[in-house]
Chain A
Amino acid sequence: MDGHGGAGRRLTGKPRSAAAYRAKLGTGMPDLLDRDMRVAIGVGGDERLARAELRRQIGRLEREMGTLVAEAFPRMQLDAAVPAVTRPARVLDLGELEAVRDSLAARIGAARRRLSERDELETRNRELLERMLAAPAEYKWLQISRDDIGAPGCGHWHSRPRYGVLGMLMGWWRVRISSGCPLPGRLAAVEREKSEEALPAR
């Protein structure tokens, strides 16, 4: 078996000849035709199926990670980064693919744990909110935001006394709901005001 053709047959399952590639390429890259392809990618042909399987697993894990990141948004930001094995890009060998797969699996595990902890916390906060709404006096000054219960948008529930000090003395407690996110117009006005303040006085 010659190194070139033999490697090609093992990797692709199809016989091919250097002459055919030379015809396809023209005469510009003789070096590409003459080198051993196994050496070029630095791995043996027998591992090809294992590498294909690892790539499939990486694809599945990547999908899982994408779903988790989307599920967490906008409540929390999951760190999905897995350190790059190489730069620039190249064909990875079995060990490197395993490292990518394992790092990705570890990230997913950590992301799941964080998400699950967050879900538990939000559930507890929702229960606390229900109790606070039922009996505001038992949760004096407690403030629960929409973010705390995993709800989108701004705003919070705040246990406060009615009529200020009088309400405090009389035990008249109630839950106030904030008015939500500031309107864009108001934010723009604040920005304008700030920039005007920053201008030097004439």
Chain B
Amino acid sequence: MGAEEAGAELGWEPPSKLGWVAPHVAAEFPGLGISWIEVDGRPGRSPEPVRRRLRDLSDRFYGAHAIHMRERPIPWAYRVFFRQIGLDPDRTRTPVEQLALDRLHDGGFKARGMPADALTIATVETGIALRAFDADQLQGALCIRDSAPGESLPGRPAELARGTLVIADVRSPIGLLFGATGEGRGVEEGTRRIAIAAVQVNSVPQIAVEEALWMVTAALEGA
């Protein structure tokens, strides 16, 4: 009996889809990956349990956590990856560090509605970098690759610098890796189905990625 059949018998499905990484990029960055999951959901005000969870998270997150965060394996792995792709994680913050900084600045994790709050909870709890896209605007599998000459982000006239690392579907880039999202590809007013993508880097265990995606799904499905 295969894993999928066994899972079906237990009423469990493999939760996420595995995207791919362009081979020459994967050769440079072993361990780099992208997984995503699609959930029915629309943007809107977060329900009370999610808001309460944000408050609880705020209560157990202090300045010392933010400082010592860089010593923890997963946030460290993202910092290292940022350095390796030419970003300074002390200027362009990793997702979890940006949230930590916002927490210290705002005095708490502020509710910003769904799916942002679900992403905040999962990112702070697991350290995994997550992105939300409009699932209906995506075609085929997600991937991480470098941009081709003449490519640009949807809705942006400026051509991407050659070799820019992007998240893409089969048509075109949908967002920069750890950067802006293309116009019409993010979660907007008319979104009815949300794709949550987790960017995995070297030293980040798959189970943490699955946990992060599960947390977001649980929060979105409960909304």
Contacts and interface: CB of A to CB of B under 8 A. Distances in A.
Interface of A: 7-8, 11-13, 16, 21, 24-26, 28-29, 31-32, 35, 37-38, 40-42, 48, 51-52, 55, 58-59, 62-63, 65-67, 69-70, 73-74, 80-92, 96-97, 100, 104
Nearest to B66: A73
Nearest to A65: B70
Given A12-B24, A62-B76, A91-B29, 12 more contacts: A11-B23, A48-B28, A59-B80, A67-B71, A84-B91, A86-B87, A88-B165, A88-B177, A89-B164, A90-B164, A100-B83, A104-B83
Given A26-B170, A66-B70, A100-B86, A7 B148 contact: no
Given A62-B80, A90-B85, A90-B164, A32 B22 contact: yes
Contacts of B82: 89
A94 to B, nearest CB: 11
B161 A88 contact: yes
Nearest to B150: A31
Interface residues of B, number: 51
Nearest to B82: A89
Nearest to A55: B84
B206 interface: no
**Main secondary structure on chain B at its contact with chain A?**
loop
B79 to A, nearest CB: 6
Contacts, number: 151
A104 to B, nearest CB: 7
Contact of A69 (B67, B145, B149, B178): B67
B67 A82 contact: no
B8 interface: no
Interface of B: 20, 22-29, 63-64, 67-68, 70-71, 76, 79-80, 82-88, 90-92, 139-141, 145-146, 148-150, 160-165, 168-172, 176-179
Contacts of B90: 80-82
Contact of B24 (A8, A28, A29): A8
B170 to A, nearest CB: 4
A29 B146 contact: no
A55 B27 CA distance: 13
Contacts of B171: 28-29
B27 A73 contact: no
A74 B62 CA distance: 13
Contact of B83 (A35, A41, A42, A82): A82
Contact of B85 (A26, A69, A80, A92): A92
A90 to B, nearest CB: 4
A84 B163 contact: no
Contacts of B63: 74
B145 to A, nearest CB: 7
A51 B28 CA distance: 8
Contacts of B163: 40-42, 90-91
A41 B85 contact: no
Most chain A beta carbons < 10 A, residue from B146, B149, B168:
B146
Most chain B beta carbons < 10 A, residue from A55, A66, A91:
A91
Most chain A beta carbons < 10 A, residue from B88, B92, B164:
B88
Nearest to A82: B88
Given A41-B146, A69-B67, A88-B161, A97 B84 contact: yes
Contacts of B87: 84, 86-87, 89
Nearest to A90: B163
Given A28-B139, A28-B171, A66-B76, A84 B88 contact: yes
B27 to A, nearest CB: 4
B130 to A, nearest CB: 17
14 contacts: A12-B27, A25-B140, A28-B171, A29-B170, A37-B23, A41-B146, A58-B80, A62-B76, A63-B76, A82-B90, A85-B86, A89-B165, A90-B86, A100-B83
